[in-house]
Structures are given as structure tokens and as C-alpha cells.
Amino acid sequence: MGRRKLVIKRIEDKSARQVTFTKRRNGLIKKAKELAVLCDVDVNVIIFSSRGKLYHYCSSSNSLPDILRRYHSHVEAEPSASAGICQTQEHYSNYASCLSCRELLQIVERDLREPDVDNLSITDLVHLEEQLQAAIMRARSTKTRLMLQSITSLHEKEKGLIEDNRLLEEKITENRIDVGANEKTDFNNSARCQMIPGHQQHGLLDLLRSK
């Protein structure tokens, strides 16, 4: 009886899919290492998981950007290929910043909810730890920024209240001066009136009544 042909299609079960990805990925990298050693060639493997995680293997001591530049130099004559390599270089160079643009907390929470989290490899766990640390640093940075903004806002409000209090005190002082001046004027007028002899006061009253 012949061997049954395996149908290659997407694995629907999330847990089984993750386990298969981990096994196949490790197997692919192992084959790449063997090929590099047996045939004395440079082998580079780049893998992006469905979650956007980057996995890569370089058989030489060169970094991935160096390898990409080397590859790009061989395909310069092909515009379409060259454009694709430029995009790949840009994606790799901005990989860390891309992580900062993601909802890291959501990613970490989603990863921790995976049913096969206990079956993750050391590489996956290290990557998950890095994401968690990045999320913590982001939260601390945001907390510090918000606290500084709050302190600055409170200082500005305090300055505003001090200025309002100063203006109010100046207004009260001006009012007191005006009231004192009016009282002094009334007192002086009353004093002058009292200094007029009695018969002159009666004459003045008669004059006012006749009018």
C-alpha cells in the first residue's frame, strides 16, 4: 500500500498551528546550518511569523543588513527585485521602532492567552519577555510624562492664582485709599460747616428756603 500523500493546507487549530510552526521553523534553520557547514556556503533564513515576530539565521559573521546589501548588489540590474530588497532593508532597520508602534500590551496579553504558551521554545519566551519589558518601559515612560505634565499644569495654575491674588489685593488697597479720601473730604466739609457762626447758619438756611 502506497504512502498517503500529505495535503499541504492551512492548519485551522491555533495550538496545532503554533506547534507545527515551531517545529518546522527549527527544522528549517537546522537544515540551513547543515547546508552551510557541508557545502561551505553562506546561508541566510528570514522568517516572519503570523504575529509579526522576526526569526533569522545567518551562517556567516555578517549582520543581516550586510547580507541584504550584498544580495542587493547582485540584483541591482533588476528594478523590481531591487525595490523589494530596499523595502526589506527598511523593514528590518525599523523593526525595533515598528514594535514601539504596536500595542505591545495587547500583543503580550494575546500571547499569554495562547493555549500552548507552555510549549513555546526558549526563543519564543525570550521574545515574549522582550515585548513585556518594552511594554513596561513604555508604561513607565508614559506615566512619567503624564506626571510631569500634571506637575507643570499645577505650577501654572499656582502662578495664575498668585497673580489673581496680587491683583485682588491691589484692588482692595485702591478701594481703601478711595474710601479714606472720601471720608476725609466729608470730615473736612463737616468741620468747615461747624465753624460758621450760628446767626450766619440761620441766614444761610433762610436764603436756601427763599429760593
- 85-134 confidence digits (pLDDT tens): 455 555 544 444 444 445 555 555 665 555 455 666 777 777 777 777 77
Query: Has residue 105 been placed in a domain?
Result: yes
Distance CA 82, CA 88 (A): 10
Sign of the torsion angle spanned by Cα atoms 112, 115, 119, 121: negative
Q: What average pLDDT is seen over the chain? A: 71
Domains in the chain, number? 1
The CATH number of the domain holding residue 77 is 3.40.1810.10
Number of Cα atoms under 13 Å in the Cβ half of residue 159:
6
Residue 94: phi, psi to the nearest 5?
Answer: -100, 15
Strand, helix or coil for residue 155: helix
Query: Has residue 121 been placed in a domain?
Result: yes
Query: Has residue 166 been placed in a domain?
Result: no
Query: Has residue 89 been placed in a domain?
Result: yes
Residue 115 lies in domain:
14-141
Query: Has residue 136 been placed in a domain?
Result: yes
- 126-144 confidence digits (pLDDT tens): 777 777 777 777 777 777 7
- 21-77 confidence digits (pLDDT tens): 889 999 998 998 999 889 988 888 888 887 777 787 888 776 667 777 777 777 665
Residue corresponding to grid cell 500529505: 6
Query: Has residue 169 been placed in a domain?
Result: no
